[in-house]
Amino acid sequence: MLSVNDLCVHFPVSRGLNPFAKRKSVKAVDGVSFHVAREETIALVGESGSGKTTTGRVIARLTDLTRGSVEFEGADIMKLGGAGLKGYRKRVQMIFQDPYESLNPRASIVDQVGLPLVVFGIAKNRHQKEDIVSSLLDKVGLVHSEVLFKYPHQLSGGERQRVSIARAIATNPELVVADEPVSMLDVSVRAGVLNLMQDLARSYHLSYLFISHDLAVAKYMGIRLAVMYLGKIFELGLTADIMSKPLHPYTKMLLEATPKIGPKSVGGLRARGEIPSSIDIPPGCRFHPRCPYATDVCKSKIPPLRDLAETHSVACHWAEKFA
């Protein structure tokens, strides 16, 4: 349904006062390709600065791309305009990380969730809008009679995120880009929102692009997983395969670093270094300064994302050694 081909998003950096300084750019996304099938959830994981949010924003047509293309059912989304773009926005919706900021503080819940209904002509009048919003609120596990005329500040974080979800599904979309939808929520509330998102995926036949820094959450939600680092996908495959047998050293380090319940076992791959700036990306494999297995090839040659199995691709020169 959606295919992303060699996507690059570069943001120019100010030269400051020096007119002779070289024009630099932040390479937020630097050659990313993947596809999303109908009714599939793919999770995009990575640390801050890995480009996962920017990728999601391009797909939601909120950020322009520098190079590459994004095709939705074969049509280039960057070429859409006017009615075409409006139709696309109806089919592709986004849920943001912070439910405190993504809702308008001065609009009541019925108006927030009802806005897309009005924009897309789904609700013809106020009465109809209230009816549809009520049923949407019930679907996301809220009691509509309690929240319909409330304002965001009167709701808890979990309730607010449910309102954002109701707003996203109001147009009956086919793809929802969910950018860290539970990272601001407490554990006891998080589980409920994840359950809800899975239920909605089934009843609305949704696809999710689920963006997360939390491997545990990504593992729970995603059938497929893409691990990103500094604007590139390092490993792409079925979540279960990657979790049980990571092939990229970075994925290994990430899995090793993620806390697990129980006393910590000693050994394993040590966490080394920090993600560098996406202005000065290391040459060759961009992970080589932190990689314990790096060789001379890694310092000069960029490893392409190669298929190691039908459903498992890795961007590492030495991936076979870890298989």
Q: Which residues bind other proteins (CB under 8 A)?
A: 47-48, 156-159, 186-192, 194-195, 198, 213, 215-217, 219-221, 239-240, 253-254, 256-264, 271-275
Q: How far apart are CA 180 and CA 182, in angstroms?
A: 6
| Alpha carbons within 13 A on the beta-carbon side of 222 | 31
Q: Which is nearer to other proteins, 43 or 169 (CB)?
A: 43
187-204 and 157-169 helices cross at what angle (nearest 10)?
A: 10
Q: Which is nearer to other proteins, 273 or 304 (CB)?
A: 273
Q: Which is nearer to other proteins, 21 or 257 (CB)?
A: 257
CB of 265 to other proteins, least distance (A): 9
CB of 240 to other proteins, least distance (A): 8
Which segments of the chain are extended strands (E)?
2-12, 25-36, 41-45, 67-72, 75-76, 92-95, 175-179, 207-212, 224-229, 232-238, 306-309, 312-314
Sheet containing 41-45: which strands, arranged edge to edge? 92-95, 175-179, 207-212, 41-45, 224-229, 232-238, 312-314, 306-309
Q: Which is nearer to other proteins, 25 or 258 (CB)?
A: 258
Q: Which is nearer to other proteins, 84 or 273 (CB)?
A: 273
Q: Which of 80, 101, 104, 100 is nearest to 92 (CA)?
A: 80
Radius of gyration of the chain (CA): 21
Q: Which is nearer to other proteins, 14 or 125 (CB)?
A: 14
The sign of the dihedral angle between the CA atoms of 228, 160, 120, 203 is: positive
Q: Which is nearer to other proteins, 73 or 186 (CB)?
A: 186
CB of 68 to other proteins, least distance (A): 26
Which segments of 193-286 are extended strands (E)?
207-212, 224-229, 232-238
CB of 190 to other proteins, least distance (A): 7
Region for residue 208 given its phi and psi (left: phi exceeds 0; alpha: psi -120 to 50; beta: otherwise): beta
CB of 47 to other proteins, least distance (A): 4
CB of 159 to other proteins, least distance (A): 7
CB of 161 to other proteins, least distance (A): 12
Q: Residue 287's Cα: distance from chain center in Å?
A: 21
